[in-house]
Amino acid sequence: MGVFSRISNGWKMGTASLKIINKNKQLILFPIISSVFLFSVLASFAGIGYASYGMEYMEFFEQGSTTDYLITFVFYLISYFVIVFFNIGLVHCARIYFQGGEPKFSDGIKFSATRIPVIFSWSILAATVGLIIKAIQENSGSIGAIVSGLIGMVWSVATFFVVPVLAYENLGPIEAVKRSGSIVKNKWGESIGASFSFGILTFLGMLLIALPIGLILSMINPMVGIIAGIALVFLIQSVVSSAEMVFISSVYHQLVDEMPLQDYESDILDDLFIEKKKKGLLE
């Protein structure tokens, strides 16, 4: 299958994933509540810093001290735990839907609760990698910024499918990265196509929905317009984020379980996953 066919199929699967979110609106709760938790974590760390060091706390943390890195590590650890916890719940609800069920938000939360040890071990690895990237960026000048950017990009690509791997396979963090990387290696074109479609959908949603409504309301009351615009941007990002996790779940389950996926075109699925039998993918 050619490069453009792969990307085109990824685009079609991305838009189909958005339709699944429209049918299962509860799935949007996962990124919304995750974001609320993350904001609370950020506010808590900022509050502690301000209470301890006053207005100079940001300068203190920018010095690259041991305390700076320790606090950053803890912040990364909690943040990654929250993100993966809710993403695993969303992926599990997508699986229930693919199996013909009617997923509920509580189903995902209950399943994620059974994976807490795995999520925590993964969060330690992810926080460590994040801290290394931060250290390189802060201590190596412009070259460090380029190197850290490249490392971050490679890490993001390698871990693209790590959430369903953590959810359903008995693997440690490093093995989960390798497994995710093997899926990306074989399905890079579809991943690019879907990611591109999600980016375009986010941009169009902001341009055609959030911006016009925000501007119209700002003519009535500037504060109302700003709040409405921010709320709509947040909602659009939550919807697209949910669709992306549904896409990731669909690719994973079709590859590993050969699970029939409703709402996706059969010819696209055939093109996407026929290579599994040819190459023995994920055996």
Question: For residue range 141-163, what is the model confidence (pLDDT) as tens digits?
Answer: 778 788 888 888 888 888 988 99
pLDDT band at 210 (very low <50, low <70, confident <90, very high): confident
Per-residue pLDDT tens over the stretch 156-209: 888 988 999 999 998 899 999 999 888 877 765 556 666 677 778 788 888 888
Single pTM value for the model: 0.82
Q: Which residue would you say has higher pLDDT here, 51 or 246? A: 246
Task: Please report the DSSP string for 208-275 in residue order.
Answer: IIIHHHHHHHHHH-HHHHHHHHHHHHHHHHHHHHHHHHHHHHHHHHHHHT----TTS-HHHHHHHHTH
